[in-house]
Amino acid sequence: MVQPSELEIAGDEGYIIRSVFFDNRPVTIIAANKSKGVLYGIFHFFRLIQNRQAIDKLSIQSKPRIQKRLLNHWDNLNGSVERGYAGKSIWNWEKLPVEVDPRYKDYARVNASIGINGTVLNNVNSQAEILTKGYISKAAAIASVLRPYGIQIYFSIKFISPMEIGGLSTADPFDPHVRRWWKEKAQQIYQQIPDFGGFLVKAYSEGQPGPQIYGRTHADGANMLAEALSPYGGIVMWRSFVYDLSIDSDRTKCGYLEFVPLDGQFATNVLIQSKNGPVDFQPREPINPLFGAMPKTPIMMELQITQEYTGQSNHLVYLAPQWKEVLDSDTFSKGPGTLVAEIVDGSAENHTLSGIAGVSGIGTDRNWMGHHFSQANWYAFGRLAWDPAFTSGQIAEEWIRMTWSNDPKTIGVIAKMMAGSWEACVDYMTPLGLHHLMAAGHHYGPGPDYVNPGRADWSSTYYHKADSQGIGFDRSSKGTNGVGQYAEPLRRLWDSPVTCPEKYLLWFHHLPWTHQMSSGKTLWQELRLHYKRGVEAVGIMQKTWDSLEGRIDQQRFDHVKARLEMQLENAREWRDVCLEYFGRFAESPNSGHDR
Ligand code: GCU
């Protein structure tokens, strides 16, 4: 029925589902090497049933392409969630370990059903307290609920924890006392949580301390932690989200400049965790140039499920198309056909360790994510982590069938809304390669005129550089040469405004308002068109949703309807504020543009 040799390639997490006859009766076999594989196989089988697929002639073989498939909670120990839009943290630290919320089991099942196998419990802007005995016991209680579902827990750690909670006078990674402190800490953790996954580290970034304080490198810091965790099989996920402008005045170049020279210096249980793009989860960014640039180091990809810059829990924005655009991008790092997905799954360089992380949008809200449609992003993250080759349409259809309805009309209508929602958001927020136009602090609405008095790179004006001459950030070889961090032919293609894809145009080029676009229109006309199109698309989404009244339950219908109304209002605001602001330059007497 299923030969042991067939299971060889299934690994620890894969499975085979097969319809066979046994004793003259039709049966379904779900076979795997480990219990985790059976678990995933069963969820696959449930999915088929929920999707109303035939289950009498099954012949399925599946295994995940990426090894570590993690959620990253940006949850603080006081119960708040950084960039969380769905209530409070689900981790009730006050009541743990005595009271264990029954929701943790639901959380575990939901995540296991989409193949998530790890979760970082606390914010990357970490507090040292997570490593105290009390919190380790609390975390151990969570771990025991997640364990049967194949989910390991991880901590974000603060680099100077040995000083803050260990009584040491330094956190220098070369100091023997510091090294011993981390080793003892690891031992303490593993005593209580034998399958603990490891540490996530935000170091020397946005005020977080790092090894640089002591003149050491990222590799020195990461390797010290790796040494402490390695006896237990733990890993270190060291983030490349750094932008020290003393290294380069173009923020997008900083991560690459700091990390590429360290390639080959990291211990074997270290992954570098890099955001999809070089800035910060903007509605659209070109790929992070680090993908493909550090062949000796496994690069993990960090995506953002919580919609910090894409309307938070008020806008319907299905992010799978954004993630697919990144995963399917060719880095050309080893010649044509070296996709980001192949860097991330480790196959491009034969890495045995690979990983992907999604910044969670989960909170205490009854619907977990604030917006019913935000759940689609959680679902899509898990599915793409399992196999980046799945299409966003296929994932959307599965989710719609399981969440809303199996009625073909309903599926078609919702699928269409979801498919165009991300591009619509890009259009009404940051079209044609614009980025970082949001208001300061909350990052919700438009703020193209925002200037941070202390930091240029936290100002919108730093990114769009609009003036009467034109708009856009010149990262071409004549500007900051940000394009120089990409492999050929990307470097050459993106270097010229003629061959640069228009979706990235103002990311790489500063162009006159009169610049002629491929449509024959001027840049200013085209920009206006995009903003207008974005708003119109939301209007269409709204009407489309209204056509579903009566086909889905009233409560969820009303929830989405109310949010779409707000989304339309917000999209109009983005359009009006941005066009009014840019218009001041584009239509000024010396812009060269007809008024
Ligand atoms: C963004 C976000 C911060 C977060 C940071 C990070 O800048 O706004 O809240 O801490 O990313 O990823 O570290």
The 10s digit of each residue's pLDDT in 415-439 is 999 999 999 999 999 999 999 999 9
- Burial letters 556-584, b for 16+ CB under 10 A, else e: ebeebeebbeebbebbbebbebbbebbbe
- Interval between CA 123 and ligand 1 midpoint (Å): 10
175 assigned to active site = no
pLDDT > 90 fraction of the chain, expressed in percent and rounded: 98
Q: Counting atoms of ligand 1 from 1, which one is nearest the CA of 205?
A: 13
Pick from 155, 153, 187, 188: nearest CA to 68: 153
DSSP string for residues in 289-345: TTTTT-TTS-EEEEEE-S-TTTTTTTS----HHHHHHHHT-B--BTBS--BHHHHHT
379: which 2 tokens? 């679902």
Q: Which amino acid is at 274?
A: S
Residue nearest to atom 7 of ligand 1 (CA): 280
CB atoms within 10 A of CB 49: 10
324: nearest Cα among 375, 394, 411: 394
Beta-carbon contacts of residue 423 (< 8 Å; ≥ 6 apart): 321, 537
Cβ neighbourhood burial of 59 (10 Å; 0-12, 13-18, 19+): exposed
- Rounded CA gap, 51 and 78, in Å? 40
Which residue in 46, 45, 39, 60 sits closest to 115, CA to CA? 39
Query: What is the distance between the alpha carbons of residues 299 and 353, in angstroms, rounded to a whole number?
Result: 9
Average pLDDT, the chain: 97
| pLDDT above 70 for 268 | yes
For residue 169, the one-letter residue type is: S
Centre of ligand 1 to C-alpha 305, Å, is: 13
How does pLDDT run across 539-566, given as a tens digit for each residue?
999 999 999 999 999 999 999 999 999 9
Q: With 90 as the cut, is the pLDDT of residue 292 above it?
A: yes
Residue having the nearest C-alpha atom to atom 11 of ligand 1: 280
Measure the CA–CA gap between 304 and 71, rounded to whole angstroms: 10
Q: What is the pLDDT of residue 461?
A: 98
280 is catalytic: yes
DSSP-assigned letters across all residues of 367-394: TSSSSTTHHHHHHHHHHHHH-TTS-HHH
Is 258 known to be catalytic?
Answer: no
Q: Is 170 left (phi over 0), alpha (psi -120 to 50) or beta?
A: beta
Ligand 1 pocket mutation, candidates 72, 75, 83, criterion most atoms within 8 A of CB? 83
Q: Is the predicted pLDDT of residue 595 greater than 90, yes or no?
A: no
For residue 202, the ligand 1 atom closest to its alpha carbon is 13
**Hey, whose CA ends up nearest to atom 2 of ligand 1?**
83
Q: Which pLDDT value is given to residue 590?
A: 83
Q: Which residues line ligand 1 (CB under 6 A)?
A: 82-83, 124-125, 202, 206, 241, 280, 308
pLDDT at 2: 86
In total, the chain counts a number of residues equal to 595
The mean per-residue pLDDT over the stretch 379-400 comes to: 98
- Residue nearest ligand 1's atom 13 by CA: 124
The atom number, within ligand 1, closest to the CA of 275 reads 12
Residue 503 has pLDDT above 90, yes or no: yes
pTM of the model: 0.98
Residue minimizing CA distance to atom 12 of ligand 1: 241
| Residue environment code for 471-485, b if the CB has 16+ CB neighbours within 10 A, otherwise e | bbbbbbeebbbbbeb
User: Which of 124, 239, 285 maximizes ligand 1 atoms within 8 Å of its Cβ, making it the mutation to test the pocket?
Assistant: 124
Q: Annotate 49-111 with DSSP letters as a single string.
A: HHTT---SS-EEEE--SSSEEEEE--B-TTS-BTT--SSS-S--TTTTTTS--THHHHHHHHH
Any idea what the Cα angle at residue 525 is, between residues 520 and 530, rounded to 5°?
Answer: 100
Q: How large is the average pLDDT for residues 328-332? A: 98
Reply yes or no on whether the pLDDT at 380 is more than 60: yes
**Catalytically annotated residue among 99, 206, 328, 546:** 206
- Strand blocks (E) in 203-249: 235-239
* Separation of CA 382 and ligand 1 centre (Å): 22
CA Rg, the chain, in Å?
24
- Structure confidence at residue 334 (pLDDT): 96
Distance (angstroms) between ligand 1 centre and the Cα of 374 equals 19
Ligand 1: centre distance to CA 456 (Å): 17
Mean pLDDT (whole number) for 382-401: 98
The pLDDT tens digits for 107-163 are 999 999 999 999 999 999 999 999 999 999 999 999 999 999 999 999 999 999 999
pLDDT interval class at 311 (50, 70, 90): very high
The ligand 1 atom at the shortest distance from the C-alpha of residue 359 is: 12
Phi, psi of 129 (to 5 degrees): -55, -25
CA distances in angstroms from 403 to 12, 50, 485, 490, 570, listed in the order given: 29, 9, 42, 40, 26
Distance 553 CA to ligand 1 centre (A): 36
User: How many whole angstroms from 115 Cα to the centroid of ligand 1?
Assistant: 26
Quote the pLDDT of residue 592. Answer: 84
Structure tokens belonging to residue 50? 């929920």
In angstroms, rounded to a whole number, what is the distance separating the alpha carbons of residues 541 and 571?
A: 12
Report the alpha-carbon distance of residue 128 to residue 145 in Å, rounded.
24
Catalytic residue among 12, 227, 280, 467: 280
**In the chain, what is the straight-line distance between the N-terminal and C-terminal CA atoms, in Å?**
75
Q: Residue 4 — very low, low, confident or very high, per pLDDT cuts 50/70/90?
A: confident
Atom of ligand 1 nearest to the CA of 82: 9
Query: If pLDDT is split at 50, 70 and 90, which confidence band does 342 have?
Result: very high
pLDDT tens, 153-204?
Answer: 999 999 999 999 999 999 999 999 999 999 999 999 999 999 999 999 999 9
Q: How far is CA 259 from CA 218, 264, 479, in A?
A: 8, 10, 22
pLDDT of residue 573: 98
Res 594: pLDDT: 65
CA of 444 to the centre of ligand 1 (A): 14
Q: What pLDDT is attached to residue 150?
A: 98
**Phi, psi (rounded to 5 degrees) for 369:** -120, 0
Q: Which of 72, 74, 303 to mutate to test the pocket of ligand 1 (most atoms within 8 A of CB)?
A: 74
Mean pLDDT over residues 501-525, rounded?
Answer: 98
Q: What is the mean pLDDT of residues 343-371?
A: 98
Q: Which atom of ligand 1 is nearest to the CA of 83?
A: 9
Return the pLDDT at 68. Answer: 98
Longest Cα separation, the chain: 86
Helix or strand holding residue 584 (H, E)? helix 554-586
